Structure 1
Amino acid sequence: MPAANRPSVLVFDVNETLLDIEALRPHFHRIFGDAGVVREWYGQLILYSMTVTMSGRYTDFSTLSRAVLQMMSDFHHVSMTDEDLNDLGTAIRTMPAHGDVADGLRMLADNGYRLVTLTNSPPHAGATPVDNAGLSGFFERQFSVDSQRAFKPAPQLYTGVATQLGVPASDCMMISCHAWDTLGAQAAGLAGALITRPGNAPLAVPALPQPDVIATDLVDLASQL
């Protein structure tokens, strides 16, 4: 990436970009009889989070997650207990980081980038999922959409991070494995870097902005930056 266009702040998505949602597969296999339902659940959760924001409403991501799980249990015709929901909630808060994440973050920090996170997940009274994954030491701040009562890719979430850090939006780059996230950030004036985790790829539409950087993982991202 040309030095003139290089950002000073890297804003990281958390779920799936840093933390591995595939770790939830055993729970979905036990409840639904199909570990692959984890992808269906996550897709539905993102769909309804966007719907909630577009409708001018709000409920926190954890509450919405439980409701989507209950909705899915209805149309999959499986029984889901409070214990199942609680176990899944604990598993979601303690997902491990992808194997490349710590090395990639260390490389980026060593090269002088300011690192922060922006997640749909609400703040926790105790440790955050980033804390539980052993990554909190890399980040200057952990931002949640909850303070603005809207979900990504609402533009005020991205510009709000820049404002709170005291930098122009153009000095920030959103790092995510979700094309809808990088698109939202780019529409708000940030740069965008897409991490092509399995199941994620660029959205190749000529009329839409493409990621400024496409990387296979965070080590590759650090090398390109």
Structure 2
Amino acid sequence: MELARAKVPTYAFTHGNPKTACDALDRAGLRTYLRGVHSAEAIRAFKPPPRVYDWVCGEVDSAPERTALVAVHSWDVHGAVRAGLVGALATRLEGRVPAVVEPPHVSAPRVDLVVDRLLALPA
């Protein structure tokens, strides 16, 4: 919701079935805040190779360095950072940022705190 209030274009990005993602977002009442849902299934690929993140940046017409990926999986944020995106990790599932991944630009225990930290980054 904070991203919508800040007028930041926001999308969901999955490598799974987009209908499944849409259904989950609808149940959580979040899809209304999104401009769209994208799935790497469209290019028959899985995250985290850089080409997957490059593809979605093209789909949303946003340069990688001006695009942030917010996730609760460090491997996903790792892939995004390696592809040149801003990485934002909510550590609520993993408890910490693993030492074996590219460090995210921001991290916090909860997604709302991650979003606050993203919005506080210099433009």
TM-score bucket (shorter structure)? 0.7 to 0.9
Give unpaired runs (5+ residues) of structure 2: none
Q: Which residue of 162, 165, 171 corresponds with 2:66?
A: 171
Greater relative contact order (Cα < 8 A, sep 6+): 1
Q: Conserved in 2, the CA contact under 8 Å of 1:117 and 1:141?
A: yes
Output one character per residue of 1:90-122: Cα deviation in whole Å (capped at 9) or x when no partner.
Answer: xxxxxxxxxxxxxxxx11211121111111221
- Tell me which residue corresponds to 2:34: 139
- Aligned equivalents of 2:113 and 2:8: distance in 1? 15
- Aligned equivalents of 1:159 and 1:123: distance in 2? 18
Output one character per residue of 1:203-224: Cα deviation in whole Å (capped at 9) or x when no partner.
Answer: 224xx53110011112212322
Number of residue pairs the alignment of both structures matches:
117
- Aligned equivalents of 2:2 and 2:28: distance in 1? 18
Residues 219 and 150 (structure 1), Cα distance of their counterparts in 2 relative to 1, 3 Å cut: same
Q: Which residue identity is paired with 1:219?
A: D
Give unpaired runs (5+ residues) of structure 1: 1-105
- Aligned equivalents of 1:190 and 1:222: distance in 2? 15
- Tell me which residue corresponds to 2:114: 221
- Tell me which residue corresponds to 1:185: 80
Secondary structure of the residue that 1:128 maps to in structure 2?
Answer: helix
- Tell me which residue corresponds to 2:46: 151
TM-score of the superposition, structure 2-length normalised? 0.84
Identity %: 31
Structure 1 residue 153: Cα displacement: 0.7
- Aligned equivalents of 2:11 and 2:98: distance in 1? 25
Secondary structure of the residue that 2:29 maps to in structure 1?
Answer: coil
* Structure showing greater Rg: 1
Residues 146 and 200 (structure 1), Cα distance of their counterparts in 2 relative to 1, 3 Å cut: farther
Q: Which residue identity is paired with 2:111?
A: L
